[in-house]
């Protein structure tokens, strides 16, 4: 019985080690943009970002994860990773990816953080006008309400470009 228990432990450890290796799990700790395309639906987002003005200045992590503390960043990355893996496993994402409200808030905060000089003037100007579209967002609208094509272009449907890109997955 003792040998069976030892064998079972080693079998479980072997299966887990294989899972870590095959899923490239440790790569998700990095900030490398190519990590994001290990999931097929992200290839369109990666390719459109590569051809954008943001490529030289911002990676996926810079826009999509919080930048206040390392712990907050890792918790958000873990939560998003879990949600993404469930969506990819059960194919619940459909042809168009949808952003969560938490991720939308993070992206909005990061846009404002990087473009604070321009945004400060916009905040000043927005205070002069009472027309507010969304009271939960600074200035009454999200950055991408006007800048819809930045940095991922206007392509939103995953099936339209799935065979048009030549990205090499890690």
Q: What is the CATH number of the domain that holds 66?
A: 1.10.3820.10
- Does some domain include residue 57? yes
Kindly indicate the confidence band of residue 4, based on its pLDDT and cuts at 50, 70 and 90.
very high
40 with 167: CB under 8 angstroms? no
Give me the half-sphere count of Cα atoms (radius 13 Å) on the Cβ side of residue 109: 13
Estimate to the nearest angstrom the gap between the alpha carbon of 65 and the chain centroid.
Answer: 7
Q: Which two tokens stand for residue 145?
A: 């309400």
For 142, the domain range is: 31-160
Q: How many domains does the chain have?
A: 1
pLDDT in tens, 115-152: 988 888 877 777 676 555 666 676 667 888 888 888 88
Residue appearing with tokens 């879990």:
82
**Residues facing residue 157 across a β-bridge:** 96
């Amino acid at each position: 019985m003792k040998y069976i228990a030892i064998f079972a432990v080693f079998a479980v450890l072997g299966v887990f080690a294989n899972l870590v290796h095959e899923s490239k799990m440790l790569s998700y700790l990095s900030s490398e943009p190519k990590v994001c395309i290990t999931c097929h639906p992200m290839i369109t987002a990666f390719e459109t970002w590569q051809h954008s003005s943001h490529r030289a200045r911002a990676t996926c992590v810079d826009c999509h994860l919080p930048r206040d503390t390392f712990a907050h960043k890792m918790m958000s990355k873990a939560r998003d990773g879990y949600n993404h893996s469930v969506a990819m496993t059960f194919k619940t994402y459909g042809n168009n990816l949808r952003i969560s409200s938490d991720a939308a808030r993070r992206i909005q905060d990061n846009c404002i953080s990087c473009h604070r000089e321009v945004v400060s003037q916009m905040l000043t100007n927005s205070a002069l006008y009472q027309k507010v579209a969304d009271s939960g967002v600074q200035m009454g609208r999200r950055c991408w309400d006007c800048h819809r094509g930045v940095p991922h272009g206007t392509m939103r449907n995953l099936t339209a470009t799935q065979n048009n890109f030549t990205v090499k997955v890690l």
